[in-house]
Amino acid sequence: MSDVGTEANPLRVAIIGSGPSGFYTVSNLLKQSGLVVEMDMFDRLPTPYGLVRAGVAPDHQKDKSVTRAYEKSANNEGFRFFGNVEYGTHIHLSDLQKHYHQVMFTTGSPFDRNLGVTGENLEGSHSATEFVAWYNGHPDFADRAFDLSQENVVVVGIGNVAMDVARILCKTVDELKVTDIADHALAALSQSKVKNVYILGRRGPAQAAFTPPEIKEMGEFAEADVNILPAEAALDAHSQATLDAGEDKNAIKNVETVQRYAETANEGKPRQLHIRFCVSPTELIGDAGHVTAVKLVQNDLVVDDRGQQKAVATDREEVIPAGLVFRSVGYRGQPLPDVPFNDSWGTIANEGGRVVDDSGQPVAGLYTAGWIKRGPSGVIGTNKTCAQETVGHMVADLDAGSMFTPESPSAEAALAMIEARQPDFVSFPDWKKIDEAEVTKGQAEDRPRVKFTQVAEMLAVAKG
């Protein structure tokens, strides 16, 4: 038989997950000179693009423009998309081993980490992921309800997702109705009684995980002021020295913006955003099973023996009344059937993208990229270099002959298997019908698109 990766015997790759790291896997494989590759991408939803569609905030349309590059990859002759096909339900690793030489997992980190405090399970306490997926129209979350009659909301965490949640809560309906926010979310937010939103950061402004554009954007609300306590905007000596070294340009910009907010007079707008630093929740207080307040402890920043700066709780406590709480303190991946998993990290066990077994040895044919590989870090573009690293190992292993030996390595055989397991799969041309219908509906309302939020609706459009 001809060498794998030639016209006579193309390299067959299955990609599980259709977010950025999945599509960067495609583009990186297409760049390999002399390599003939056929790629089948699978997603349990009928729609591609993962968190670009269901995670990027609706008021950040520019960030979603990366899908143009993904579509260019999808239009390659060697690529097929199979939406509405779930790994572990419709297809299994044993199936993939029969039809592909390599399998790439790019399934992300869909679960929030817990706070680990008393009262976390009270009614009114939610993960940020739930809220983000809800306002973005994710089918799994479209029917969720959030009590927006509450005047005070606490968001625990100070990364970009926390900022997104707070921003959506602080914006007016006029600001939101020109986005692709889900219709059900727009309707609910139009009735919102929220007046105060509190973002809680465990450490100081120099250590905050948000990016400069995210914190800068908080000062542009039509009807919300930003409040930061001057004492919490000030840096401790170690943070200031680190900043003065000038190595972290983003941290310098973040601190400058934070301190500018701390010096800005409040204009008395209808909503107030309070960004707090060096505080941690210790308990969610409830009444009749519903959260009513958050107890905080103030932290001091202390340098340990290794020179690392840590937040250490003091005996200074306070209580913030709040009837709605969102946690955004980190994310973890979901274990996948037959794939080694590092439970403490919440990632697939891997070395540089090569999946490894319990002894640390590479498992031939299995790879990973994105958040499920490295954990929840970076921005969309970070996944490009992440996928590039893994694809480099895939090519090296191909050259070394380390891969699956499929018994039916043909596109036709794989398609027959998928048709038998999930006849309602959605191809990329099917997705384009959904996309066109959403954009057309959006144009009628001067919006980027109006999303379908139910799988049945999507399938009806895709299948005509």
d(CA 58, CA 55): 9
- How would you write the pLDDT of the chain (464 residues) with one tens digit per residue? 469 999 999 999 999 999 999 999 999 999 999 999 999 999 999 999 999 999 999 999 999 999 999 999 999 999 999 999 999 999 999 999 999 999 999 999 988 899 999 999 999 999 999 999 999 999 999 999 999 999 999 999 999 999 999 999 999 999 999 999 999 999 999 999 999 999 999 999 999 999 999 999 999 999 999 999 999 999 999 999 999 998 899 999 999 999 999 999 999 999 999 999 999 999 999 999 999 999 999 999 999 888 888 999 999 999 999 999 999 998 899 999 999 999 999 999 999 999 999 999 999 999 999 999 999 888 899 999 999 999 999 999 999 999 999 999 999 999 999 999 999 999 999 999 999 999 999 999 999 999 999 999 999 999 98
Residue 2's pLDDT is what?
Answer: 62
Superfamily of 11-110+333-426 according to CATH: NAD(P)-binding Rossmann-like Domain (3.40.50.720)
> Among candidates 403, 334, 405, 392, which has minimal Cα distance to 366?
403
d(CA 300, CA 297): 10
- CATH 3.40.50.720 positions along the chain are 11-110+333-426
> Among candidates 55, 94, 90, 113, which has minimal Cα distance to 332?
113
Reported as a single tens digit per residue, the pLDDT across 384-427 is 999 999 999 999 999 999 999 999 999 999 999 999 999 999 99
DSSP 166-202: HHHHHS-HHHHTTS---HHHHHHHTT----EEEEE-S
Tokens of 34: 């002399």
112-331: CATH number: 3.50.50.60
**What letter does residue 105 receive in the DSSP assignment?**
E
d(CA 259, CA 240): 13
d(CA 418, CA 334): 23
- CATH 3.50.50.60 positions along the chain are 112-331
Tokens of 140: 């799994």
Reported as a single tens digit per residue, the pLDDT across 100-113 is 999 999 999 988 89
Residue 1's pLDDT is what?
Answer: 43
d(CA 401, CA 387): 21
